[in-house]
């Protein structure tokens, strides 16, 4: 399989109610993202609230999105779980529906050592039926996939890339340097604030939540960085930061990012803004602030 490069939105999971998918909303988002030129779609990640959904709902969403995408671009499916058996089973569903890869952060109830992570991921990569991307997400899973661990795992034939959401660019640069002789191993950066500099430095793309709302902006950033057009990168970076410092900063809890993305997607007319437990959507006051931020960004608010 050719390495995927570019913008891979971590798609939100639109919900009408607890564990009830917003089917039309999901289709709207898929069409908008494909229309904007994103290079792949990643579902059931952190932005997708995968862990908060029932398994039934996760399986339905895999079917729904793979069906909507219909092979136009690659679909990656998050299989992060505390149970290796459940990860393997979800990977089977993903393959059956046409996804081309699976993504797994570390198991997140216990805190395995680096050696235990190597053993765990080796077993997982042996067992899953699709290429596996490993996912460094220390704020949620408590453990950090150290650079040496990534290097060890990159030797496994079925481990094909890393998504890093640590915000620590020293780390990602270290991984890249240590894997300099393995150019086929994909390196993606999670935070959209870092896509420009990561791609300028040779990373393969961004798994950027903001692409649920404004996919064309992140595609433009990717293209500018690949072209080494630093002035364009800096100009687009301002737009990305304008989103990041407003929409993701409403509300007082650590969940502002998730709530902000879903609220904005709703205001832009794509889908419902219901969130899965343990989170609830923004109230009227916070919704008004997100609407205001969207207007300041020049976006058309259809659903205030």
Active-site residue set: 135, 163
Nearer to a second copy, 237 or 272 (CB): 237
Phi, psi of 232 (to 5 degrees): -65, -40
CB of 102 to a second copy, least distance (A): 16
Nearer to a second copy, 74 or 209 (CB): 209
Radius of gyration over alpha carbons of the chain, in Å?
18
Nearer to a second copy, 74 or 107 (CB): 107
Nearer to a second copy, 32 or 256 (CB): 256
CB of 105 to a second copy, least distance (A): 9
SS3 189: strand
- Give dist(CA 269, CA 213) in Å, integer: 10
Nearer to a second copy, 32 or 46 (CB): 46
Of 197, 215, 213, 149, the C-alpha closest to 8 is 215
CB of 71 to a second copy, least distance (A): 30
Where b means 16+ CB within 10 Å and e means fewer, 168-207 reads ebebbbbbbeebeeeeebbbbbbbbbbbbbbbbeebbbbb
Q: At what angle do helices 55-69 and 23-36 cross, to 10 degrees?
A: 40
CB of 186 to a second copy, least distance (A): 18
CB of 213 to a second copy, least distance (A): 18
Nearer to a second copy, 32 or 244 (CB): 244
Q: What angle do CA 10, 93, 49 make, to 5 degrees?
A: 30
Contacts 24+ apart (CB under 8 A), 187-191: 187/161, 187/162, 188/8, 188/133, 188/161, 188/162, 188/163, 188/164, 189/163, 189/164, 189/165, 190/10, 190/137, 190/163, 190/164, 190/165, 191/165, 191/167
What is the DSSP secondary-structure string of 203-257? --EE--GGGGT-HHHHHHHHHHHHTT-HHHHHHHHHHHHHHHTTGGG-SSSTTHH
- Give dist(CA 75, CA 54) in Å, integer: 21
């Amino acid at each position: 399989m050719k390495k995927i490069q570019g913008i891979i939105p971590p798609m939100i999971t639109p919900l009408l109610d607890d564990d009830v998918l917003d089917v039309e909303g999901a289709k709207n988002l898929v069409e908008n993202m494909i229309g904007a030129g994103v290079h792949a779609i990643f579902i059931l990640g952190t932005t997708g609230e995968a862990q908060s959904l029932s398994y039934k709902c996760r399986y339905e969403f895999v079917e729904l999105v793979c069906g909507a995408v219909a092979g136009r671009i690659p679909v990656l499916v998050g299989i992060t779980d505390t149970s290796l058996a459940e990860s393997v089973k979800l990977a089977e569903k993903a393959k059956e529906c046409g996804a081309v890869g699976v993504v797994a952060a570390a198991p997140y109830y216990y805190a395995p050592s680096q050696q235990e992570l190597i053993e765990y991921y080796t077993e997982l990569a042996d067992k899953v039926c699709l290429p596996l991307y490993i996912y460094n997400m220390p704020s949620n899973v408590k453990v950090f996939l150290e650079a040496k661990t990534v290097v060890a795992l990159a030797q496994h034939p079925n481990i094909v890339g890393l998504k890093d959401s640590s915000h620590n660019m020293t780390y990602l640069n270290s991984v890249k340097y240590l894997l300099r002789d393995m150019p086929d191993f994909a390196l993606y950066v999670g935070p959209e604030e870092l896509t420009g500099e990561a791609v300028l430095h040779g990373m393969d793309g961004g798994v950027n939540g903001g692409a649920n709302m404004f996919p064309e902006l992140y595609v433009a950033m990717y293209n500018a960085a690949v072209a080494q057009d630093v002035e364009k990168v800096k100009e687009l970076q301002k737009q990305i930061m304008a989103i990041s410092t407003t929409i993701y900063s409403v509300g007082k809890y650590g969940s502002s990012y998730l709530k902000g993305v879903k609220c904005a997607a709703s205001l832009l007319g794509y889908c419902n803004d219901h969130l899965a437990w343990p989170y609830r959507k923004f109230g009227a006051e916070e919704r008004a602030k997100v609407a205001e931020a969207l207007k300041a960004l020049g976006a058309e608010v259809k659903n205030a």
